[in-house]
Structures are given as structure tokens and as C-alpha cells.
Structure 1
Amino acid sequence: MDKPTLADMFASLTTEQPFTPPEHWRQGRTVYGGFSSAMALQIALNHLSVERPPLKAVQIAFIGPVTEQVSFQVETLRQGKSATQVAVDACVDQAIVLRAGFSFAHPRESDIQHHYIECPEVKSPEHYAAIPKHLPVPNFFKNFDIRLVSQSMFFSGAETPELLAWVRLEGLNEISPEVALLMIGDCLPPASTVCFKNLAPISLMNWTVDFTQPAEYSGWYLVRSFSLVAGGGYSYQVMQVWNETGELLMSDTQTVAIFT
């Protein structure tokens, strides 16, 4: 049987019927965080009218494993003149496993403009080798074409906790661009895994995303994650996503539980 396409999966999401994510989007016992977040966003988009403002900010709490028969609840918290806030809960066996908040906002005229996040100077994707598919990686990771730009590989015992890579995924242009960006934004392992000397479990606790401009498609995306602080079994990392022309699309942070 052919694997369902991204378009098919996201078109089937509804608050009326539970959804079981396919095995090839799993990460251990749960669904990959970018996929579960994207599902919640699709539910929010279905809930809103087509005249909604652009997506501006996302807050995700990963509470428990997102496994089978996932059901969704959605609520508009506030709808103002320029901004709308929507909440989505994902539940398994009537227990909340993911809680998401989405803020949609129209742009406003402002005299304050600055930009201090520079796009790294890198070569085009074809200059970098694809990460081999046979590596011991989660199922979801094999869906992506990832060209590692940074020198250090995850689980290599390196000193600098940074990952930088060109990433693409087939079928992204068939789903909403905001949903596509959440799929891309969390595809790399946590940056702290570069410092791991051996394979060890990790668990994503939360994810905060800021969209710096209305979401748009790009053939390739440049994705960076950098762990700023690690200690006591947790790491705090910052991440960015740029398009092929070097425009910043997303800036985000995560708290990750590490078990080594």
C-alpha cells in the first residue's frame, strides 16, 4: 500500500473523527513533534475563516506521547480587530497529549524596524552531501532530504552544540505554507545531541515559534539550531529557518529533556 501523501493526511484532519498518524512519521513511541504541531495548526486553520490574518506566533506544550486515535478540540480565545488567538488540544484516550496556542495578526504600520539575525554564509544545497538513510535515526527523519552544512554530526561527541543544514521535503507545496514550515522547523535533532558521545533518549518539552513574515514556500530551507544552555538534564536551544534567498521565515526556541 502506498504511503498517504501530506496533502491527503492534512486534508483528512477534523475535530469530528480521531486520526492515527502513520508509522513513517513516528519518533520512538510518539509522533515527530513537527508533525503533531502541524496537525494542531491544521485544525486551527480549519476552524478559522479564509479571511484570517497571517500566522504570527505559536506556543506548543508536548505533554504526552501522540500515538493512535488522536482527537482534537479547538477554541477561539479572542478575535480582535488585528489579532486572533486560537487554542487546540490533542488528546489520546481522553488525556491531553499536546496543547497549542496560535496567534494570527495583521501587519501594522510602524517606524521601528531592525533585523539582527543574519543568515549564515553557506553554499547552495548541491555542494553538501545528503545524510545517509541507513543511520540509526527515527522513522520520520527518513522522509526528509537533509544536507548537513555544519561540520559536526549528532552523537559525535563534538564541543559546539550547533546543527546547520539545508532541508527539503516532497509534497510541502500541497499543504498550507504555515503547516509546511512547522514540518520543516523541527526536523533536525536537538543541537545538544551533537555533544552526545553515544545514542541516548531525548524528549521535547515545548516549542515557541515566531513567524517573522507571512509564511511562504521554498524549495530548500536552511535550518539552524544552537543549544545555548545545557545542565541538569535539560537543554535550551534557539532555532531559525531561512528560505533559499536568505530571508528569515521563523525564529524559535525549545526546551529539551536529555537523558545522558
Structure 2
Amino acid sequence: MSVQSFLAPITGQTAVIDLPDAENWMQGRTLYGGASALIAYTYAIRAFTDLPPLRAAQVGFVAPVGGRVELQAEIVRQGRSVTQLRSELYQDGALALTAFFLFAEPRKPNALYPTRKPSDFPPPAEESEDVMSDKGPNFLRNNFEIRRAQNVSGPGEPVVRRWARLKNREELDPISELILLGDVLPPGAMRAMQRQGPISSINWSFNLLETNPQTEDGWWVSENASQHANNGYSSERLRLWNSEGQQVIDGLQSVAIFG
């Protein structure tokens, strides 16, 4: 089933909806974070159809999200060029996800400092080894292709970098595609864990560096890097590049490390 079919029940009207094929996107007892964030974004842009391009988001993963959700959204403030909007998912009447989206029209630039292609940018995806096809959570195996983008494995520096693309992305706009992909990898702290244990994303904030991002054949380079891990939590920097090495997302996430 395509992502568009999964999102089809979202009409922009406040309602309780059943998401088709929701089990395909489950990560344990909740929807994968990128999928639940995309639901909130899709509801926002279908409820308010004249929004400027998305520039940034702050997402709080409050509680597990299942296949039946109630959707609510409101414009918090609308200025001449910037619109700030809150979109929320409720499960059984309780808040499960809250997202604060910032939409903004472009301005004449007064500061120019483009991101640089990493010096260790990986070889093309078609030359890279397939990974995760026979392991990892169901949502990952069912919906994404993952290939190696770094020459390391196992314990070590807390950085996880992979090529990633959606298997079924027909007629999906590029911003929705990036929201699905931006949180797809496990945290970099996984490489620093002293023993195996569960992990859980608590929040996710990101800036979009391009409003119409493009890449070759659907492949993006995703990286999660722990900046600090202790006391059961990791502060992670999440970045996404296109196939040419142009950065398109710069993000931050707090992750709970159990076990």
C-alpha cells in the first residue's frame, strides 16, 4: 500500500479516523515517529490550504499512537510572511503527539552561508551494501530500503549513517517524504550502549534547508549522531542530505536509552 493510501482518510476536518494498513507502520506498540509526524503535518496542510512552505517543526512524542486517532489543528499566529500552527493527535481522548509547525514565505536574503558537502560523503547508493533487509523493526523492513553509508559497524563513535529511501513513494510530495525519512535510523548512541536495550524517541525538532528538495532515484543520506549520552538519555543531531551531498534537514532529538 502506498503512503498516499495510508494518508487518504485525512480530510482536514476534525474527526476520529482509522488509518488503513496502520500495522505496517508500527514500531512496537506505537506508530513509527516519522509516520505519526507526517499524519500531523498532512492534517495541518489539508485543514489550512493556503500555507506558505514548511520551514521548521517541533514534534513531541507524548504517548503511543495507534491506528485510530483524533486529529486537531489550529493556527497560533499568522503574520505577513510567517504562519505558526499547532497540530495534535489524540488517542482514546488523551494527547499522544503534539507538533508545532512553522510555515514561512521566502525573503530577500541578507545572509548567505550554504552548507558544505561532507568530506567523507559516501559512494552512490547503487554501489553500497544493502543492510537491514532481514533485521530491524517491521516498519523499517516493510517501507524503506537501507544501504550502508559508512565504513564502520558495531561499537564505536556514536554515529549511524545510511542511504535510505521509501519503497512506495508514488505521488508523494518531497516535504512529506523527508518527514517520513528524517527519523528513520536508530540513534547514534546505539553504538555507545554497553548492553542491548530498548530505545524511544521523546521529541524531534528540525529545520528544512530546502523547500523543494530533490534527489536521484529517491535516495537520501540520513545520519544520527549522539552529541552527549548519559543518565539514560541521548542528545542526537539528525541530518539528511540528497544524493549530491546537499544538506536538506538539520535536526535535534532527545532519545530515552533503557536497559
Q: Give yes or no for TM over 0.5.
A: yes
**1:167 pairs with 161, 164, 168, which one?**
164
Whether the 8 Å contact between 2:234 and 2:255 is mirrored in structure 1 is yes
**Structure 2 residue 213 is the aligned partner of structure 1 residue 222:** no
Count, aligned residues:
252
Structure 1 pair 90–117 and aligned structure 2 pair: CA distance change class (3 A): farther
**Structure 2 residue 199 is the aligned partner of structure 1 residue 202:** yes
**Structure 2 residue 90 is the aligned partner of structure 1 residue 85:** no
Whether the 8 Å contact between 2:121 and 2:245 is mirrored in structure 1 is no
Aligned partner of 2:130 in structure 1 is 130
Q: CA deviation at 1:176?
A: 2.5
**Structure 2 residue 26 is the aligned partner of structure 1 residue 26:** yes
Pairwise CA RMSD: 1.6
1:128-172 residue CA offsets vs partner (Å, 9 max, x unmatched):
11114222x11111021101112344xx3x120001111111232
Instruction: Please give the alpha-carbon distance, in whole angstroms, between the structure 1 residues aligned to 2:133 and 2:139.
Output: 11
1:91-136 residue CA offsets vs partner (Å, 9 max, x unmatched):
001000100010000111122111355434221012211114222x
Structure 1 pair 132–99 and aligned structure 2 pair: CA distance change class (3 A): closer
Whether the 8 Å contact between 1:10 and 1:175 is mirrored in structure 2 is no
Return the letter of the residue paired with 1:206.
Answer: N
SS of residue in 1 equivalent to 2:210: coil
TM-score with structure 1 length normalisation? 0.91
Structure 1 pair 110–205 and aligned structure 2 pair: CA distance change class (3 A): same
Instruction: Please give the alpha-carbon distance, in whole angstroms, between the structure 2 residues aligned to 1:217 and 1:110.
Output: 21
SS of residue in 2 equivalent to 1:91: strand
Between stretches 14-23 and 224-233, larger displacement belongs to 14-23
Q: CA deviation at 1:16?
A: 2.5
Whether the 8 Å contact between 1:13 and 1:19 is mirrored in structure 2 is no
Between stretches 122-131 and 168-177, larger displacement belongs to 168-177
Structure 1 pair 59–214 and aligned structure 2 pair: CA distance change class (3 A): same
TM-score with structure 2 length normalisation? 0.92
Q: CA deviation at 1:173?
A: 4.5
Instruction: Please give the alpha-carbon distance, in whole angstroms, between the structure 2 residues aligned to 1:172 and 1:75.
Output: 28
Matched residues, percent identical? 32
Aligned partner of 1:239 in structure 2 is 238
Q: CA deviation at 1:197?
A: 5.0
Between stretches 90-99 and 77-86, larger displacement belongs to 77-86
Whether the 8 Å contact between 1:68 and 1:92 is mirrored in structure 2 is no
